[in-house]
A and B are shown apart, each in its own frame.
Chain A
Amino acid sequence: MNMLLDNMPALLIAVPLFFAFLIPIIGKFAPKIHDVWIILASFVSSLTAVITAVTVFTKGTIVYVFGAAAGSPAAPIDSGGIPFRIIFTIDGFCAFMLLSAAIVSFAVVLYLVSSQKERSGKSELYALYLLLTAGIFGMVSTGDLFNFFVFLEINSLAGAALVSYHRKGGIAAEGALKYLIVNTVGGLMVLFGIGLLYAQYNSLNMAFIASQMSFTTVNIVALVLFITALAMKAGSVPFHFATPDAYSVAPSGITAAMIVASQAGLYGLFRIVFTLYGDIFNTVTIGWVVIILGVLSMVIGVTMAIPQKDVKRLLAYHAVSQTGYMLLGVGVALAVLGDPLAMAAFGQTAMEGGLFHIINHAMYKGLLFLAVGAVIYRTGVWSLNKMGGLGHNMKWTMIFFLIGALAIAGIPPFNGFASKLMIYESVFAFNPALSIIAMVVSILTLASFMKVFHSMFMGPQLPEYAEVKEVPKLMIAGMVILTIFVIGFGLVPDLVVNNLITPAADALINNGAYITAVLGGGL
């Protein structure tokens, strides 16, 4: 048992990969237990992530060295202090991302098992899905820049293949191709940036590079490459064009998982900006770059969302808009990072608000995509103009959609309100205009969702949907899991912030702790 616990970070990758390659075999030879097996697979891999996260929250940062006895240092004694071993470094921020990915990926699997029951080729779908999970887990827990790139590519490839999975006609392939091209260009930019850093420091270890980082032109070029590429992955403006195309054609459950996949890009962005570059220069400029990206994403995302007719495309534009809130909150913290007074007054809250919004967004946007997917599953219609009166037949779906819609619009007592309030308050202290923009965007979001809610569920029962039934129980179970977190995080935000978000924010702000955890106190 102890040995299992010691090697949990390795299992984080090994379990989803193992099941991913096993599932097509099971699908071929034992189709009867196939569905049970995939639920088990996802449960076990989510469980490893949760156990790892809990260990981090109770015992502090884990540094796991691959291929060495437990507890060996990242830098072998005879290496002259250069940590060339392959390591996973899991601190508060990583644990927080792991938790969010684990919850969403398990809820989505419950949903998929039911919604894909009648479809062909589902073994391969689940194999790709577990690869995507492995990619996300790897991205958020690695302590090595090159491994980060490899997991980023696994994430993008599996994601693109999943996007193109079902919908008939060429549009699925079109959306997937766009997504893949954007992500591949981004991935190669990350690799180029890694090359630039390696050329100077002869190491790929994030902590080592962070400890050696200095202010040079080459480093700035690398930083620009990283920010551009990871903003592409996260789907913020000005790289938002691929996001709606990909999200609108992917199977609904998959889209909910893609939200978490794109947030892994956000994780990389924050990790690199704070941990690698946090020490060396005045972060005000970088902070403002992130703030401007955030504000543009918020405004452009929501204005593009309002006129949409395709309901999934509408939700995808709202995803772009919500990413803006996270960038705004964290950007404000970044802009005042060098000023301890401002940091204590509002920077810390802004940071926590931005990070809290990440997990909240994963929950309520996942819930919205699942609820909309349930409607599409029963009606086969994407266009809002053709829907109507579905509230009569799909009561549960309607309730879940309403909860998700109120949460995304920032209405109490749901989780979106808790994190948005933190962002408004702290951003107002930094710059009132930004805070007002954020509130206006929130109102527009509410308006947009009321329109969607009305045209989907309200009104008289339409004759063509008289036969529509509520979706199967497993799909509802998937939505219930996310709903519990949407309501729970909204009811006890203090508890969540103190236990999850503050350790994550501290891990980012205090990058010295990350470096010492890997390199030891000696360097």
Chain B
Amino acid sequence: MIANLPFIAVALLIGISLAIILLKKNMIKMVMGLSILEGAVNLFLVALGYRENGIAPIFTSAPEGAEMVLPTVQALTLTNIVIGVATTALMLALVMVIYKKYGTVNSNKIRRLKE
């Protein structure tokens, strides 16, 4: 049960973030929702690689027979954090431009691109 806790948290976070992205009208909040989604995926990746009582995966002078956490998923997480920063920054910049031009961040009020 306790080992599954991170995965339950991941499921909750994904649910919350998708609800925010789909339901909120404020674009800043939509960007926040995307950041939560990104955090959820990161948590999922790190939790995958966790081993009970595991140590950092450095082979030099590691104690004999010690269990190690998986390094690959941590590398993936690190990369995803970097990509996430770039994405969030670009999205916030775009929201800023929209706010300057329209004076609002409500996604219902800015629909100038007609269907």
Contacts and interface: CB of A to CB of B under 8 A. Distances in A.
Interface of A: 84, 146, 150, 153, 156-157, 160-161, 164, 169-171, 173-177, 180-181, 184-185, 187-188, 191-192, 194-195, 198-199, 202, 204, 245, 248-249
A146 B80 CA distance: 10
Nearest to A168: B101
B8 interface: no
Max chain B Cβ within 10 angstroms of own Cβ: one of A156, A171, A177: A177
Contacts of B110: 170, 174
B94 A173 contact: yes
Interface in B1-39: 21, 27, 30, 34, 37-38
Q: Is the interface of A mostly helix, strand, loop or mixed?
A: helix
A237 B113 CA distance: 19
Contacts of B98: 170, 173-174, 177
A419 B38 CA distance: 40
B48 A198 contact: yes
A194 B41 CA distance: 10
A157 B87 contact: yes
A176 B44 contact: no
A181 B27 CA distance: 10
A202 B79 CA distance: 18
The 5 closest A-B CB pairs, nearest first, are A170-B101, A173-B97, A177-B94, A173-B94, A153-B83
Contacts of A194: 76
Nearest to B42: A191
Given A146-B76, A180-B87, A185 B113 contact: no
B94 A185 contact: no
Max chain B Cβ within 10 angstroms of own Cβ: one of A146, A195, A245: A195
Interface residues of B, number: 31
A249 B98 CA distance: 14
B112 A171 contact: yes
B68 interface: no
A127 to B, nearest CB: 14
A92 B110 CA distance: 45
Contacts of A84: 72
Contacts of B90: 157, 160-161, 180
Max chain B Cβ within 10 angstroms of own Cβ: one of A156, A164, A174, A248: A174
Contacts of B102: 170
A185 B86 contact: no
A373 B87 CA distance: 28
Nearest to B100: A170
A358 to B, nearest CB: 27
Contact of A170 (B30, B73, B112): B112
Nearest to A173: B97
A146 B100 CA distance: 37
A284 to B, nearest CB: 30
Given A157-B87, A192-B44, A169 B94 contact: no
A505 to B, nearest CB: 32
A157 B90 CA distance: 8
Contact of A181 (B30, B83, B86, B112): B30
29 contacts: A146-B76, A146-B79, A150-B79, A150-B83, A153-B83, A157-B83, A157-B87, A160-B90, A161-B90, A164-B94, A171-B113, A173-B95, A173-B97, A173-B98, A173-B101, A174-B110, A180-B87, A181-B34, A181-B91, A184-B38, A191-B41, A191-B45, A192-B44, A195-B41, A195-B76, A199-B48, A202-B70, A204-B72, A245-B113
A86 B45 CA distance: 19
Given A171-B113, A174-B112, A185 B37 contact: yes
Given A170-B98, A185-B37, A192-B41, A180 B73 contact: no
B94 A198 contact: no
A148 B76 CA distance: 12
Contacts of B100: 170
A156 B86 CA distance: 11
B34 A177 contact: no
A198 to B, nearest CB: 7
Nearest to A192: B41
Contacts of B37: 185, 188
B7 to A, nearest CB: 10
Given A173-B94, A177-B27, A153 B87 contact: yes
A199 B72 CA distance: 11
A164 B45 CA distance: 32
Contacts of A191: 41, 45, 76, 80
A184 B72 contact: no
